[in-house]
Amino acid sequence: MTLPFAPSSGWCRWLAVSLVMTMAPVASAQEAILEGERFHPEVGTRGMVATSHFLASQVAQDVLAKGGNAVDAAVTAGFALAVTQPRSGNIGGGGFLLVSDESSGEVIAIDYREKAPSAAYETMFQNEQGEAVSELSRYTHNASGVPGTVAGLALALDKYGTLSLAEALAPAIRLAEEGFAVPQRFVEGIRDTRERLEKWESTRQVFFKPDGSLYQAGEIFRQPDLAATLKRIAEQGPREFYEGETARLIAAEMQRHDGLMTLEDLANYQPVIREPSHGTYRGYDVYAMSPPSSGGAHIVQMLNILEGYDIGAMGFNSAATIHVMAEAMKRAYADRSKYLGDTDFVDVPLEGITSKGYADELRSQISRDAATPSDSIAPGNPLPYESNETTHFSIVDDNGLAVSNTYTINFSYGSGIVVDGAGFLLNNEMDDFSAKPGVPNAYGLIGGEANKVEPDKRMLSSMTPTIVKKDGKNFLITGSPGGSRIITTTLQVLMNVIDHDMNIQTAVSVPRIHHQWLPDEIRIEQGISPDTIALLEALGHTVSRQDAMGAAQSIMIDDNTYYGGADPRRSTSSAIGL
């Protein structure tokens, strides 16, 4: 069989590894993580692409090879992932994009996070007794915020790219029309969420065969309705999604199912350019997404705390290192629960949270000899004031332009609802609001008044696209999916490179840990020594062994050479150099 988008020779070596992992049982993915030090980064001399799907990496690399810049390649990859990875890539969701331009020294953040409809209200996900009802914020039409992806990617292209929107959309349109061979991960994803997806006729028509059976690995998957939607956007521009036929299809879908989102909500949507969060760590400048993402503020906060320890000498994933990391994580997530929200609606003490002085205060609370119980940690006083399925990609070119992008529809396959006639899934990002202050969301994260539901408000996020610079030069581009684990995954990639001197492939492959204040446990991946676990438990930590966390597609730049690290936790991940 001749497959559409057959692999080019430039990434055949990666594909061989990918196919072995794809066809192997789940345990093999865990084994790949344990063998991280055996993985070598992809190397390029003119640029690098690292995405969560090899087809998106290929089309992005093609853009760079033809003279396009990193933003051109990023927007092309973003739309391609909306076709090839519908469980998380999207045009029905939203996200954040960082651009670093060495020539100007500027790092900017594009916020294209979803917004609550104008008719949203604080108690909309509570029952008559005032109790939060998770089903309402996750699996209904009102679970969807107004999507931002199309507007956000178009804004990035317009300001920093060289391609037209039609040119950037062309590969995605081709993939949707001609189809692509589905990998095993696609098959497993549909199978695992089948009950939720089959609930909606529009979703059944897209993701299942006419007889209701599943697509199998290697079979061609085509999406004609999505292709038609992308063509309309290519021909009429990004406002087509918000004011044209696509908007009318979304509004009609909402009206049929008592959804609050209207044509007016769509027409009013605009992405926002913001200042990224910024901090320093051992001489490196760290830029990450600012609110409504909590990630950037708390990455900087945790790094500030950890800078007071000689992490390199303490050792990678030693009990001493994991202990102080977990203690820093607890305190950051406690502050997140109280202070973080959409800065267009609430005052967030960013200057305080990211200050070295506040980190010194928090560090003084940490004992090297004992864990601090989470129930004795309360949000601090950082004055003065000022979502599991996501996908991240990193792209750099040889002209000093770097892009770090994370976007999502929240859960795997979002709400599970396809817009009838438009071919794409709606997000369920409304679950990232605090349905009721103090009640955890799907990721166990506690939220407060700062993140309550309000009309036209952006919900709080953990997405953390990050760019690290050294002496004014782009050095490390990273980020990850993983819900509440996004922030800690990104933190550990930075520490692995800066503190432990790992190459970028090893840095994204080795085992990770996570603590989010509540529940009071250190979550660890397979590969942490039993002796280390015993030492942590002796310090008073509860340790929980759980599945793999995150998928940090990352790039490191050293001496004009580009090193790509594709995270083995996603079998379709791919890094391609030029």
Q: How far is CA 144 from CA 174, 378, 417, 446, 553, in A?
A: 28, 32, 10, 20, 27
Band the pLDDT of 483: cuts 50, 70, 90. Answer: confident
**Which residues are within 8 A (CB) of 26 and not within 5 positions of it... i.e. 6 or more apart?**
none
What is the β-pairing status of strands 543-545 and 522-524? parallel
430: three-class secondary structure by DSSP: helix
Tens of pLDDT, residue by residue over 357-416, are 999 999 999 999 999 999 999 898 886 543 457 999 999 999 999 999 999 999 999 999
- For residue 32, being part of any structural domain is answered with no
- For residue 570, being part of any structural domain is answered with no
Tens of pLDDT, residue by residue over 156-177, are 999 999 999 999 999 999 999 9
Residue 9 has pLDDT above 70, yes or no: no
Question: Element (H or E) spanning 351, and its range?
Answer: helix 350-353
Does 346 share its domain with 246? Answer: no
- For residue 19, being part of any structural domain is answered with no
Residue 27 has pLDDT above 60, yes or no: no
* Both structure tokens of 443: 């990721």
Distance, CA of 484 to CA of 550 (rounded, Å): 10
Does 363 share its domain with 426? Answer: no
Residue 104, exposed/middle/buried by CB under 10 A (0-12, 13-18, 19+)? exposed
Give me the CATH number covering residue 354: 1.10.246.130
Tens of pLDDT, residue by residue over 442-476, are 766 776 789 999 999 999 999 999 999 999 999 99
| Active-site residue, from 51, 390, 466, 506 | 390
- For residue 33, being part of any structural domain is answered with no
Tens of pLDDT, residue by residue over 528-546, are 999 999 999 999 999 999 8
DSSP symbols for 131-196: -B-HHHHHSSGGGPPBP-HHHHHHHHHHHH--S-HHHHHHHHHHHHHH-EEPPHHHHHHHHHTHHH
Tens of pLDDT, residue by residue over 81-113, are 999 999 999 999 999 999 999 999 999 999 999
Predicted structure pTM score: 0.92
Band the pLDDT of 153: cuts 50, 70, 90. Answer: very high
The per-residue pLDDT for 38 is: 52
Ordered strands of the 466-470 beta sheet: 42-44, 561-565, 554-558, 473-478, 466-470, 284-288, 277-281
Please give the average per-residue pLDDT across 38-52, as a whole number: 92
Band the pLDDT of 547: cuts 50, 70, 90. Answer: confident
The answer to whether 576 is annotated as binding is: no
Tell how far CA 261 is from the center of its chain. Answer: 24
Does 433 share its domain with 482? Answer: no
The per-residue pLDDT for 383 is: 64
- For residue 126, being part of any structural domain is answered with yes
The per-residue pLDDT for 234 is: 98
- For residue 339, being part of any structural domain is answered with yes
Dmax (CA) for the chain in angstroms is 64
* Both structure tokens of 381: 């006083």
The answer to whether 483 is annotated as binding is: yes
The answer to whether 417 is annotated as binding is: no
The answer to whether 409 is annotated as binding is: yes
Give the burial string for 7-26 (b: 16+ CB within 10 Å, else e): beebbeebeeebeebbeeee
Tens of pLDDT, residue by residue over 489-539, are 999 999 999 999 999 999 999 999 999 999 999 999 999 999 999 999 999
Does 493 share its domain with 370? Answer: yes
Q: How far is CA 496 from CA 51, 258, 318, in A?
A: 20, 48, 13
Does 138 share its domain with 265? Answer: yes
Looking at the 3D structure of the chain, how many domains does it have? 2
Does 98 share its domain with 182? Answer: yes
Nearest to 575 by CA among 372, 378, 334, 393: 393
161, 75 contact by CB (below 8 A): yes
Residue 211, exposed/middle/buried by CB under 10 A (0-12, 13-18, 19+)? exposed
The answer to whether 232 is annotated as binding is: no
Tens of pLDDT, residue by residue over 177-218, are 999 999 999 999 999 999 999 999 999 999 999 999 999 999
Band the pLDDT of 33: cuts 50, 70, 90. Answer: very low
390 is catalytic: yes
27, 36 contact by CB (below 8 A): no
Average pLDDT for the chain:
91
- For residue 521, being part of any structural domain is answered with yes
* Residue 568: count of CB within 10 angstroms of its CB: 25
Does 71 share its domain with 192? Answer: yes
Please give the average per-residue pLDDT across 292-305, as a whole number: 97
DSSP symbols for 289-307: PPTTBSHHHHHHHHHHHHT
Residue 5 has pLDDT above 70, yes or no: no
The answer to whether 432 is annotated as binding is: yes
Does 295 share its domain with 440? Answer: no
The answer to whether 512 is annotated as binding is: no
* Both structure tokens of 142: 């009102």
Does 172 share its domain with 317? Answer: no
Domain range enclosing 282: 275-389+463-558
The answer to whether 87 is annotated as binding is: no
Residue 79 has pLDDT above 60, yes or no: yes
φ, ψ for residue 522 (rounded to 5)?
Answer: -90, 120
Does 266 share its domain with 156? Answer: yes
Does 187 share its domain with 62? Answer: yes
52, 554 contact by CB (below 8 A): no
Does 436 share its domain with 334? Answer: no
pLDDT > 90 fraction of the chain, expressed in percent and rounded: 87
Distance, CA of 79 to CA of 147 (rounded, Å): 14
The per-residue pLDDT for 56 is: 98
Nearest to 137 by CA among 430, 364, 334: 430
